[in-house]
Structure 1
Amino acid sequence: MEYKVQEVAKMAGVSVRTLHHYDAIGLLKPASYSDAGYRLYTEDDIATLQQIIFFKTLHFSLKEIKNIIYDPTFDKVEALQLQKKMLLEKSTHINQMIHTIEQTILYEKGEINMTNEQKFSGFQFSENKYEQEARERWGNDTVNRANETIRQHDPNVLNEKMNTIYKELATVRHLSPQSNEAQLAIASWYHFLNKYTGHHYTLEAFQELGQMYVADDRFTKNIDQFGEGLAQFMYEAMQIYAEKQQENE
């Protein structure tokens, strides 16, 4: 199926002028032209435009995006997976900053107390844990711009609470993930994430997070420090917990 430029602009939420510009700079050229000279885009073109928009959201320049997506080694699925991780990091950071702003408003009204450290919660500018992965795939220059907005807050102040939950989970990891003990422990993890990370995890997002624990070796290695097989156990318990909660909704 082929689409005219107006149709593509409408479905993607961009202007026709933007698509004309992408054509002019060789970023997104239409597959063909009609007899009347109208640009015609294919499904592959739509997929490419989606990639462009994702990278723009992550603050890559058009020149950087062009270099990435037209590299012979470019893998769309791999790019989408890393984009998702980077956007989740960005979302967590933004939600933490929003929470800090809300708390500061209450502080300015005299309704709560805040320490100086709490006033800057979410504003730390440490290295994104997926930065090296992105650099290896797309090069240093293409990642530097993204670093301006993709930041993560320092979780050290929550380590004690987090480690306590991990230790509790480790003590019950030899039980069935469906057991009451396992489900109570994993519920504590779900509530911890929603209370302290500044990001609201839906049940679906909680399940996806569990999948990352076993799909990403870095997560598995870190979690299994508390007990061999803990990451797999948490993954299974998280799936069951989310399914049960969804049934009760």
Structure 2
Amino acid sequence: MPDATDAEGLTVGQVSSRLAVTVRALHHWDEIGLARPSLRTPAGYRLYTATDLERLHRIVVYRELGLGLGLDRIRAVLDDPAADVTGALRAQRAQVDERIDRLRQLGAGLDRMIDAHEHGLLLTAAQQAAIFGPEWNPDWSARARERYGGTPQWLRYAERSATRTPEEWQAVADTVTGFERALGEAMDAGVAPGDPEANALVERHREVFAAYFPLTRQMQVCLGRKVESDPGFAAHYDGVRAGLAAWFRRIIDASARAHGIDPDSATWH
């Protein structure tokens, strides 16, 4: 604010330093008539009086509070004695409250995203057991984080997990269960690798798996190997139908060959 030392006026540089406003802004405000200096030196340099500083200070306050008032609106508030300053400020206060609510929601979303990146599933152990069945081990998500946490696939998985509700996870689990049932029924019906029905199931598998992250055909081949070779995966699929793990890998490999992919050299990409 101005003081007794300002009686003869302050230069643009002095005002800029005092109010933490750029010289360019002061020149602009002068040019548009928002805050013009009352004095000039004989050489034509701007000089701001104590009254000028008071107006500048009010402009800075309105601008830096982030009230959403444009320069034209600020001019109207300052120049119109009949302006409803309180009403304008209340309206801006309502907008600030809305912005705060949005930021709080954003903060909560970021917290969930952080938790999803660090833990994977944002479900309690009881929720996981209810959704994925009694065989589900809540530690599997932490193990997956340790092994795959730095991969793009984990990133996609975490992004989906951060926004997914328990009901949505239940829908995912139901879809997977339905797909595995269809696999078992196809194998029972004598569907052979390379048959149209088998190829359709391979495509369906990629669609179902997209609930976790996008699965390329090369990645699907690698996953098929793991289904057959990993004791845990194999036990799960063979629990649906005896021999299903090996049959599932064979239909994936046959579909891959039809798309020009050599299953023996496929890599995770």
Q: TM-score range by the shorter chain?
A: 0.3 to 0.5
Structure of greater relative contact order (alpha carbons < 8 Å, 6+ residues apart): 1
Which of 1 and 2 has greater Rg?
2
TM-score, with length taken from structure 2: 0.38
